[in-house]
Structure 1
Amino acid sequence: MAFNDMLNIGLMQGFAGLSLFAVLLLMGLGLAIIFGQMGVINMAHGEFMTIGAYTIFLGSTLAEMLGGTATSWYFPIAIVAAFGFAFLAGWLLEWALIRHLYQRPLDTLLATWGVSLALQQTFRTFIGPKEVSPTLPEWLMGSWAPAEGLDIPINGMFVLALTFVVTVGVLLALYKSRWGLRVRATVANRGMANAIGINTQKTDRLTFAIGCGIAGAAGAAFTTIGSTGPTSGSLYIVDSFLVVTFGGAASLLGTVISAFGIAQTQSISEFFMGGSMAKVLTLSIIVVILMFRPQGLFASKIRR
C-alpha cells in the first residue's frame, strides 16, 4: 500500500475519531456540569442522550409526513427541540428526586440507575425495541474531498461545528453569565452563597437541567453517526465518566482534552486491532495515567 494511501486512511480514521470526540465531548460537558460542579453521580445521563436522539427521529418522521421543504430544514429545529426536551426532563428529575439526595452520592447513584432502567423500558414501550435512524437532510449527505483518495463526510463536519457552538456557549455561560457566577459561587462555598442571597436550590436545578440538555444535544449529534435504540445512551455512559474523571472532575478544559485523547486513541487503534482490543488499550492507558495523577489531567483549584 502506497504511503499516500496509508496517510489518507489515517486521516479519515482520525476524522472518524473526531465524530466520536464530538459525542463524547457533549456527553462529558453535561456530566462535567452535573458531576464536576454539583457532585451528583447521574447514571441516567445516557438516557437523556437517548431522549435527544429520539427527538431527532420523531422530527424526521414528522417532516416526512409534512413533505416539501420540511425534510430539508427539520434538523436544526429538532436539535433545539432535543436540547429542550432533555432540559425539561432533567428539570423534572431534579425537582422530583435529585434535590432530596444531595450529599448522598451512593443513594444518588442507585436512584439514577433505577431511573435509567425505567427510561429504557419507557422507550421500548412507546417507541419500540428496535433501533431506528432518522432520514438526514440531503445537505448533510455526501463528503468533501480535499485531496484524491481523502473523503471527509459532511455530517461529521456539521457535528464538529455543532460541538464547537455548544462548547463555546457553555464556557461563555459559565464564566460570563449571571447563572455561571452563581454556579461558581455555590461550588466555592454554598453557605456563603446562600448568605449573600443566591438561591442555591434554583441554581442546582437549572444546572442539572442544562447538563441534561447538553446530553440531549449529544443525542442529536449521535444520530448522524449511528442508529438509536432504548439502550444506546447506556453504551456511552462509562466512556463519558472516563472523560470527566480523566480530564479532572471540575475542569471543562480537561473534559475537552480528555474527550479528544480518548476518542482519537480508540478510533485509530480500532483500525489496527479491532473494537474490543481498542477499548482495552484505551482503558489501560487511562488507568496507568490515573495511577500517577489520580486527580485527573487538570486538578480542581476549588475542591481539595
Structure 2
Amino acid sequence: MFDYSMAEIGNIVVMQGFSGISLFSVLLLMALGLAVIFGQMGVINMAHGEFMALGAYTTVLFSQVAVSYDIVSYYFIFAIVAAFIVAFIVGYLVEYGLIRHLYKRPLDTLLATWGLSLIMQQTFRSIFGAKEVSATLPDWLLGSFQPTPDIDIPINGVFVLVLAAVVTVGVYIFMFRSRWGLRMRATVQNRIMAGAVGINTKKVDRVTFALGCGIAGVAGAAFTTIASTGPTTGSLYIVDSFMVVVFGGAASLLGTIASAFGIAQAQSILQFFMTSSMGKVATLMVIVGILMMRPEGLFASKLRK
C-alpha cells in the first residue's frame, strides 16, 4: 500500500469503490429477500442462494432464446421480470410443500432448507451441466465511461445499482404503504390477533416467503451482468447475505441497506491491498466486534412492550 502515491491510492479507492457497488447491489438484493423471510418470518432459508442461481439460470435461458431470434437488445428487462416470477412460483410451492410444516422449529427448517439447496444444486448440474454459463448481454450494458482519465466506471455496475434501488423502493412501498404489507406486519407482530380480525395468516406466510425468493431471483438476474453462473454460485453468497441481515438488524430495511453497502465496500477495497480471504477475514472481525457491542445490529427494530 505504501508503494502508491496519494493520488494513486485515491483513484484505487474510487475504482474499487465502484467495483464494490456491483457487489453491494447483488448483496442488497439478496439480503432484501432474506430480510423479508428471516426478519419477518424467522425462517432460516439456507436455500436462498439457490433461488438467486435460479434467477440467474432463467436469465441465461432468455439470453439463449434472444440470441436465436436476434433480439439481444430487448430481452434483458423481460428476463429480470421472468427471473422474479419463476423464483416466486418455486418459493410459493416450497413454502406450501415444506416450510409451512416446520414453523417454530428453526433447527428442522435450517436442515430442511440446506437439503433443499443440495437438491437444487444437483438439479442445476443435471440440467445445465457442471460448467459455469454466462448470459449474452445487450450492447447498452457493455463498456464503461470515464469521469476522469484514470477512472473507468462500468455501465453494467451502474445498471445493477439502479435496479437495486428500484427493488428497494418497491419493497418499502410493498411493506409500509400497501394493504398486503400491513397484513404482513400485523401477522409478524401478533399472529393470533391478526387471524382474529380476518387476516389469512397462512396465505400471508406463503406470499411473504415467495416474495423473498422472488427478490433473490432478481438478484440472480443482476448477477449475470457481472459474472458467470454455476450450480454452486448461490451458496457463495448465502453467508455474506445472512451477515448483512444480522449486522444491519433483522427486519430493518435501512439497516440492510447500510450493512450491505459497508460490507461490500470494505471487502472490495481491502481485497485490493490484501488477499481475497484476508479482506473477508478483516471485514468479519470488524463486524463481530461491533455485534459484541450491539448484538441487535446497527438498526434494531423497535418493539412495543
Global fold match (TM > 0.5): yes
Structure 2 residue 55 is the aligned partner of structure 1 residue 56: no
Residue of structure 2 aligned with 1:7, choices 7, 10, 24:
10
Where 1:144 maps in the other structure, the secondary structure is: strand
Task: Return the letter of the residue paired with 2:177.
Answer: K
Look up the match of 1:251: 252
- TM superposition shift of 1:302: 3.0
Task: Return the letter of the residue paired with 1:56.
Answer: T
Look up the match of 2:236: 235
Q: How far apart, in 1, do the equivalents of 2:164 and 2:251 lie?
A: 19
Q: How far apart, in 2, do the equivalents of 1:136 and 1:9 lie?
A: 27
- TM superposition shift of 1:119: 0.2
Q: How far apart, in 2, do the equivalents of 1:177 and 1:236 lie?
A: 30
Look up the match of 1:190: 191
Where 1:229 maps in the other structure, the secondary structure is: coil
Where 1:22 maps in the other structure, the secondary structure is: helix
Matches within 5 A, 1:61-80: 61-67=64-70, 70-80=71-81
Q: How far apart, in 1, do the equivalents of 2:11 and 2:141 lie?
A: 22
| Shift >3 Å, 4+ stretches | 1-5
Superposition CA RMSD, Å? 1.1
Q: How far apart, in 1, do the equivalents of 2:192 and 2:296 lie?
A: 25
Task: Return the letter of the residue paired with 1:155.
Answer: N
Look up the match of 1:214: 215
Report if the CA contact (8 A) 1:5-1:149 is conserved: no
Q: TM-score under structure 1 normalisation?
A: 0.98
Matches within 5 A, 1:7-26: 7-26=10-29
- TM superposition shift of 1:2: 4.8
Look up the match of 2:39: 36
Where 1:71 maps in the other structure, the secondary structure is: coil
Report if the CA contact (8 A) 1:48-1:212 is conserved: yes
- TM superposition shift of 1:293: 0.8
Gaps of 5+ in 1: none
- TM superposition shift of 1:213: 0.3
Q: How far apart, in 2, do the equivalents of 1:247 and 1:182 lie?
A: 24
Where 2:199 maps in the other structure, the secondary structure is: coil
Look up the match of 2:276: 275
Q: How far apart, in 2, do the equivalents of 1:87 and 1:131 lie?
A: 24
Residue of structure 1 aligned with 2:30, choices 16, 27, 32:
27
- TM superposition shift of 1:303: 8.0
Report if the CA contact (8 A) 1:144-1:154 is conserved: yes
Q: How far apart, in 2, do the equivalents of 1:100 and 1:291 lie?
A: 34
Q: TM-score under structure 2 normalisation?
A: 0.97
Q: How far apart, in 1, do the equivalents of 2:213 and 2:13 lie?
A: 34
1:131-173 deviation per Cα after TM superposition (whole angstroms, max 9, x unaligned) = 0111110110000111111110000000000000000000011
Look up the match of 2:294: 293
Gaps of 5+ in 2: none
Distance 1:238 1:37, change over 3 A: same
Report if the CA contact (8 A) 1:57-1:134 is conserved: yes
Q: How far apart, in 2, do the equivalents of 1:302 and 1:212 lie?
A: 26
Look up the match of 2:104: 103
Where 1:226 maps in the other structure, the secondary structure is: coil
Identity of matched residues, %: 69
Q: How far apart, in 2, do the equivalents of 1:134 and 1:191 lie?
A: 46
Q: How far apart, in 2, do the equivalents of 1:202 and 1:5 lie?
A: 55
Q: How far apart, in 1, do the equivalents of 2:300 and 2:13 lie?
A: 33
Where 1:136 maps in the other structure, the secondary structure is: coil
- TM superposition shift of 1:10: 1.4
Task: Return the letter of the residue paired with 1:286.
Answer: I
Where 2:110 maps in the other structure, the secondary structure is: helix
Task: Return the letter of the residue paired with 2:148.
Answer: A
Look up the match of 1:141: 142
Q: How far apart, in 2, do the equivalents of 1:296 and 1:111 lie?
A: 27
Look up the match of 1:204: 205
Equivalent residue pairs, number: 302
